Chain A
Amino acid sequence: MKRLMSGNAALGEAAFLSGCTCYFGYPITPQNELTEYMAKRMVEAGRVFIQSESEIAAINMVLGASVTGARAMTSSSGPGMSLKQEGISYLAADELPAVIVDMVRGGPGMGNISPAQSDYLQATRGGGHGDYKTIVLAPGSVQELTEVVPLAFDLADKYRNPVIILGDGMLGQMMEPVSFDDLKPPAEYEKDYTLTGAKGRPARKMHSLLFDTKLLEEHNWKLSRKFQRIEQNEVKYETYLTDDADMIVVAYGIGARIVKGAIKRLRQENLKVGMIRPITLWPFPAKVLQEMAKTVNDFFVFEMSAGQMVEDVKLSLEGKGHIHFYGRPGGVIPTPVELFRIISRHYYQAHALKRKK
């Protein structure tokens, strides 16, 4: 059965169905509907919901719950996400699973409450201190949230690592028909690290303070090997009309939806433009971009930021191909017609240059 739901509410239901047992949050637009949804749903089912006194408190409650083996989650946006970074670093250091939802708003500073994609680097580069990575999932529709949320909980447990669901104000607040019929709750993992009282077993401890540099180095290499495994195994992306394309747009999340609208128009004009939409922003689909660069010369990056994912595209292509960029920072939502005009201009320029060769 389909229900018309906002992304935020659908995310809450998907988390509930994925077996999330603890939600901690502090209000901030544009993700408040998620906290609101959880306040009702979790409490009715006898699970844990706490509106904390701050974002810092919420992320540390997640850490505390995760230590005991709970499937824990928090959500925020903008300045709230900045406050959570210290806690996320501790989660990564302690190898604790957690799901953190970031419905990005315009920044920096207080910014505004409009949809933006300007926290890409914060999400994909760890965000807090130390050598660590967070898995970052970027859904593109309300329905896709119902696939991404159980995946996030699964990956968090599988790799014992924080996972970020990176949406934006538009995905959070727009409504689309959504069905939960196909949602499969993630598997329960054996957890041999939890602190549950040492009754009948030797005591355990968990801490990230490692004064011995050799020990801390080894811990870092261990984390690093884990991140390599994730890079090898967990890349997800969608391609759209790439087979015959001679220009490929790289866009994610809601930005990719607007691009799709633009590509429909471009195709009507017989411009061979396709798209790759990374669903995992980290690990980034670098290999598939490298493959594409064997036959395609022009890559067009669109983001609702001044240019962040474009760095990953450059790193992936390793100097191959030509990278075009168009960004709209500050919470501005471009229309498909605007992107149609910009992309077609770049497309014709690329063709004109090729003719000169």
Chain B
Amino acid sequence: MLIKTIFSGFGGQGVLSMGTTLANAAMLEGKYVTYLPAYGVEVRGGTANCTVVVADEEIASPVASEPDFVIAMNQPSFARFQSILQAGGLLCANSSLVNTESARSDIEILAIPTSELAEKLGTIKVANMIMLGALIKASNIISYEAMIKNLNEILGEGKAKLIKLNKEALELGYNYVKE
């Protein structure tokens, strides 16, 4: 197994933390993992993306030529990364901000209205965790149960107060996606 995922969006949408969260969860499951951030000199509002590779064997390249999954949190990211998604790949789009029409017929698009869902929890800040929950349901990258169990360790000491909120957000995204 070797699964490559690209997370992309505006700086400030929690794109990089989605990546580190997935990478940490996969590592705690005993998998090989690489996390490669790409951001320019931009601050909040600029573009950001990261590549996470999860595998059962040693990972050669942390750079993904043709990702299996793309998460696009904004329109420019959707436009840019849908083209490199491999045939049969899944694109999870933040449909609150993204027009999910694509010219490609060989990929699957999953629309998640993260802003609307996040409103139920009272803060837009967890939109990224809602998206991550949806990705975990729609993919076989990591075990959702193991992730929830390890959430304290995954998010780290500084986030202790936010465990409950993050768990709710992951659950909301996870349950939004039907089997």
Task: Please state if B40 and A333 are interface contacts (CB–CB under 8 Å).
Answer: no
**For B37, what are the chain A residues with a Cβ–Cβ distance below 8 Å?**
173-175
Q: How large is the interface on A (under 10, 10 to 19, 20 to 34, 35 or more residues)?
A: 20 to 34
Closest B residue to A335 by beta carbon equals B65
**For B32, what are the chain A residues with a Cβ–Cβ distance below 8 Å?**
177
Q: Which of B23, B40, B62 contacts A113 (CB 8 A)?
A: B40
From A15-23, A48-56, A256-264, the one touching the partner chain is: A256-264
**For A2, what are the chain B residues with a Cβ–Cβ distance below 8 Å?**
27
Task: Please state if A176 and B63 are interface contacts (CB–CB under 8 Å).
Answer: no
Of the A-B pairs whose beta carbons lie under 8 Å apart in the complex, a sample of 10, sorted by A's number, is: A113-B41, A173-B37, A174-B36, A174-B37, A175-B34, A258-B61, A260-B60, A261-B60, A335-B65, A338-B65
Q: With A113-B41, A174-B37, A262-B61 given, can you name 17 additional A-B contacts, CB distance below 8 Å?
A: A4-B27, A4-B33, A170-B62, A173-B36, A174-B62, A175-B34, A175-B35, A176-B33, A257-B60, A257-B62, A258-B63, A263-B60, A264-B60, A335-B63, A335-B64, A335-B65, A336-B60
Min Cβ gap B152→A in Å is 15
- CB contact list, B64-81 vs A, under 8 A: 64-66
Task: Please state if B24 and A4 are interface contacts (CB–CB under 8 Å).
Answer: yes
Per the bound structure, the CA–CA distance linking A264 and B65 in Å amounts to 13
**For A70, what are the chain B residues with a Cβ–Cβ distance below 8 Å?**
none
Taking the complex as formed, is A337 at the interface, i.e. its CB lies under 8 A from any CB of chain B? yes
Min Cβ gap B153→A in Å is 10
Per the bound structure, the CA–CA distance linking A170 and B39 in Å amounts to 11
Taking the complex as formed, is B20 at the interface, i.e. its CB lies under 8 A from any CB of chain A? yes
Closest A residue to B35 by beta carbon equals A175
Min Cβ gap B101→A in Å is 27
Task: Please state if A175 and B40 are interface contacts (CB–CB under 8 Å).
Answer: no
**For B60, what are the chain A residues with a Cβ–Cβ distance below 8 Å?**
257, 260-261, 263-264, 336
Min Cβ gap B65→A in Å is 4
Contact with B along A33-62 (1 / 0, CB 8 A): 000000000000000000000000000000
**For B40, what are the chain A residues with a Cβ–Cβ distance below 8 Å?**
113
Per the bound structure, the CA–CA distance linking A173 and B20 in Å amounts to 12
Contact with A along B95-136 (1 / 0, CB 8 A): 000000000000000000000000000000000000000000
Interface of A is mostly: helix
Identify the A interface with B (CB < 8 A). Answer: 2, 4, 29, 113, 170, 173-177, 254, 257-258, 260-264, 333-338
Task: Please state if A174 and B65 are interface contacts (CB–CB under 8 Å).
Answer: no
Task: Please state if A337 and B66 are interface contacts (CB–CB under 8 Å).
Answer: yes
Instruction: Please count the residue pairs between chain A and chain B whose beta carbons lie under 8 angstroms apart in the complex.
Output: 61
Identify the B interface with A (CB < 8 A). Answer: 20, 23-24, 27, 32-37, 40-41, 60-66
Closest B residue to A257 by beta carbon equals B61
Min Cβ gap B53→A in Å is 10
Min Cβ gap A302→B in Å is 12
Min Cβ gap A61→B in Å is 28
Closest 3 CB pairs of A and B: A261-B61, A337-B65, A260-B60
Closest B residue to A263 by beta carbon equals B60
Say yes or no: A175-B63 contact (C-beta < 8 A), given A4-B33, A4-B35, A113-B40: no
Q: Which of B34, B36, B65 contacts A336 (CB 8 A)?
A: B65
Per the bound structure, the CA–CA distance linking A113 and B46 in Å amounts to 15
**For A254, what are the chain B residues with a Cβ–Cβ distance below 8 Å?**
62
**For A338, what are the chain B residues with a Cβ–Cβ distance below 8 Å?**
65
Min Cβ gap A118→B in Å is 18
Min Cβ gap A101→B in Å is 19
Per the bound structure, the CA–CA distance linking A265 and B62 in Å amounts to 15
Say yes or no: A261-B63 contact (C-beta < 8 A), given A170-B36, A176-B33, A177-B27: yes
Q: Which of A29, A174, A262, A333 contacts B35 (CB 8 A)?
A: A174
Min Cβ gap A260→B in Å is 4
Min Cβ gap A256→B in Å is 9
Per the bound structure, the CA–CA distance linking A176 and B34 in Å amounts to 5
Per the bound structure, the CA–CA distance linking A345 and B60 in Å amounts to 21
Q: Which of A4, A260, A264 contacts B23 (CB 8 A)?
A: A4
**For B20, what are the chain A residues with a Cβ–Cβ distance below 8 Å?**
4, 175
Say yes or no: A260-B61 contact (C-beta < 8 A), given A174-B35, A177-B27: yes
Most chain A beta carbons < 10 A, residue from B35, B37, B61? B61
Task: Please state if A333 and B33 are interface contacts (CB–CB under 8 Å).
Answer: no
Task: Please state if A333 and B63 are interface contacts (CB–CB under 8 Å).
Answer: yes
Per the bound structure, the CA–CA distance linking A261 and B58 in Å amounts to 11
Min Cβ gap B159→A in Å is 15
**For B64, what are the chain A residues with a Cβ–Cβ distance below 8 Å?**
335
